[in-house]
Amino acid sequence: MGKLGMCHEDFCCVNEELCVKLVIPGHKRSHGHEESHGHEGCKNEFVASVWTNKSHLCINGTILVTNKGTCDNDQGITVELIVNGKEKFNVKPGETKAFTFQNLQSIVIREKSGVGQTNVDVSFTLNYKF
């Protein structure tokens, strides 16, 4: 937790902690076909931009993704963590995974596969100097 009023004459570091709770509605599939929900060329897809670096700072951090879907039936949704637009990691129902990165630019969560609704928590730290 930051302490206000403590000024430094040299570079100081900042450690922020954030958490975003997402409800991924999932989509029903009928007769083996995916439904399109207004996304041209993207069928059955939920995408959430969780965070974007809009500064000139080099930000490092750890991202923790908790997929609260149940893993004991076939109704769970696997989500995909997309970091900096290119690094992709799957988090299956019931899983929690953590990843540490240098030079974070963006964090996105995307519905990967499955049916039903799931809750996903995305907790992350942002560590930088200014």
Domain that holds residue 116: 14-29+42-129
Q: Does residue 57 fall inside a structural domain?
A: yes
Look at residue 3 and tell me if it is in a domain.
no
52-69 pLDDT per residue, tens: 999 999 999 999 999 998
Share of the chain above pLDDT 90, in %: 53
Per the structure, the count of domains in the chain is 1
Q: Would you say residue 99 lies in a domain? A: yes
CA distance 85 to 2: 30
**Would residue 8 count as lying in a domain?**
no
- Residue 94 DSSP symbol: T
pLDDT tens string 99-110:
999 999 999 999
Residues 71-105: tens digit of each pLDDT: 766 668 899 999 999 999 999 999 999 999 999 99
Task: Check if the beta carbon of residue 14 is closer than 8 Å to that of residue 127.
Answer: yes
Cα dihedral value 89, 92, 18, 87, nearest 10? 10
Domain containing residue 52: CATH number: 2.60.120.1540
User: Does residue 36 lie within any of the structural domains?
Assistant: no
> What is this structure's pTM?
0.77
